[in-house]
């Protein structure tokens, strides 16, 4: 009956609390209960949806007092959503006592938070309004992905730290740096995806100004990605030398990090040498997103290497992302060729 069930449930609760006390984790139980009750990421998801909808209205009402009010509302809602995500990450840190990047689930809200903060800062610097909308969209995608992964993984996402990762110093330096690098690469990819679709849809009035703005933004974020990916990779080599006695061993995860660094270098050097125009930068940035996802998730699906704590199965979302970037790359190349042929035709006519 119900009384027996409630009694058994109470006994089980007491047993869990006793075991937590035995592990010196008793003080964290109440905090963890509070964390789940506050449901930071679900609330953040709702607010990001509202922020995106309001900012989309701002694309229609751009001028006058109405436009300012809509922009202010979108910024406030965006700020609340960002606060929820950051609050969730801080609360997870206080519960576990380690940086919130110790497992694959942790990295999803962490990268989401980094993306929305980067785009919020870029919006403050440029005041173009488009970045706030894209940041809200990224917030929705990231937190929805986090919720889907949590359901599919079906286990405690604050599980004990793997022995190989049991170093707060290296978690806070190497892993955080690498994850911020992932974040930058994905933001650049998303901006380039948005640029390709918006440019082809013809919804931008001043195409030249928008093209220049988006190209400069993606270029800057690519530099940001290179910085953190390079620093994180070097720090990872130092950690590997301390843990395994060698700086570099061509492990799949190490190779994935190196691929990001090399891809960023290809983009930046090609741009500086004049081999790559704005369209080329965006196409390479989209492909760079696939490189980042391969390093972040793809190498874990290979099930080989020393980073065995990261193995996953059935991550079909990764293949969907590859497909989207492949299609977008094809569309971008087609648009670039059409633009070149159009310019050539005008020159011949003149």
Average pLDDT, the chain: 86
Distance CA 113, CA 107 (A): 10
- Domain range list for the chain: 37-161, 175-350
Distance CA 257, CA 74 (A): 36
Asked if 253 and 307 count as a contact pair (C-beta separation under 8 A), the reply is yes
Locate all alpha helices (DSSP H) within 24-101, ordered by sequence.
Answer: 26-38, 40-60, 64-96
CB environment 257-290: b (16+ within 10 A), e (fewer): bbbbbebbeebbeebeeeebbbbbbbbbbbbbbb
HSE-CB at 30 with a 13 A cutoff on CA atoms is 2
3-state helix, strand, coil in the chain (%, to 5): 85, 0, 15
pLDDT in tens, 105-154: 899 999 999 999 999 999 998 888 789 999 999 999 999 999 988 887 76
- Would the pLDDT of 296 be above 90? no
Confidence of residue 324 (pLDDT cuts 50, 70, 90): confident
Asked if 167 and 239 count as a contact pair (C-beta separation under 8 A), the reply is yes
pLDDT in tens, 219-265: 999 999 999 999 999 999 998 888 788 888 888 888 999 999 999 99
Which position has the higher pLDDT, 245 or 205?
245
Distance CA 1, CA 348 (A): 88
Confidence of residue 350 (pLDDT cuts 50, 70, 90): low
- Would the pLDDT of 310 be above 60? no
């Amino acid at each position: 009956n119900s009384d027996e069930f409630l009694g058994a449930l109470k006994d089980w609760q007491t047993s869990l609390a006793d075991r937590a006390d035995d592990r010196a984790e008793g003080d964290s139980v109440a905090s963890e209960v509070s964390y789940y009750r506050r449901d930071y990421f679900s609330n953040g998801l709702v607010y990001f949806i509202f922020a995106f909808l309001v900012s989309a209205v701002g694309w229609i009402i751009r001028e006058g007092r109405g436009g300012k009010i809509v922009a202010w509302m979108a910024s406030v809602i965006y700020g609340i959503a960002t606060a929820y995500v950051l609050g969730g990450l801080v609360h997870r840190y206080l519960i576990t006592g380690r940086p919130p990047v110790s497992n694959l689930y942790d990295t999803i809200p962490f990268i989401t938070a980094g993306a929305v903060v980067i785009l919020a800062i870029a919006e403050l610097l440029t005041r173009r309004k488009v970045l706030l909308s894209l940041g809200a969209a990224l917030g929705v995608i990231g937190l929805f992905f986090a919720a889907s992964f949590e359901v599919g993984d079906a286990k405690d996402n604050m599980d004990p730290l793997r022995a190989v990762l049991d170093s707060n110093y290296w978690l806070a330096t190497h892993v955080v740096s690498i994850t911020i690098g992932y974040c930058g690469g994905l933001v650049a990819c998303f901006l380039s995806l948005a640029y390709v679709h918006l440019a082809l849809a013809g919804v931008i009035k001043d195409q030249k100004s928008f093209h220049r703005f988006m190209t400069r933004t993606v270029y800057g974020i690519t530099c940001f990605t290179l910085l953190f990916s390079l620093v994180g990779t070097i720090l990872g080599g130092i950690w590997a030398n301390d843990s395994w006695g060698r700086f570099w061993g061509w492990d799949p995860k190490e190779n994935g990090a190196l691929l990001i660094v090399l891809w960023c270098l290809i983009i930046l050097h090609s741009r500086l040498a004049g081999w790559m125009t704005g369209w080329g930068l965006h196409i390479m940035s989209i492909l760079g997103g696939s490189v980042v996802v391969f390093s972040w998730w793809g190498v874990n699906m290979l099930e080989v290497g020393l980073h065995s704590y990261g193995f996953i199965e059935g991550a079909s979302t990764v293949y969907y992302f590859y497909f989207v970037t492949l299609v977008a790359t094809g569309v971008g190349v087609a648009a670039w060729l059409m633009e070149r042929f159009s310019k050539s035709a005008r020159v011949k006519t003149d």
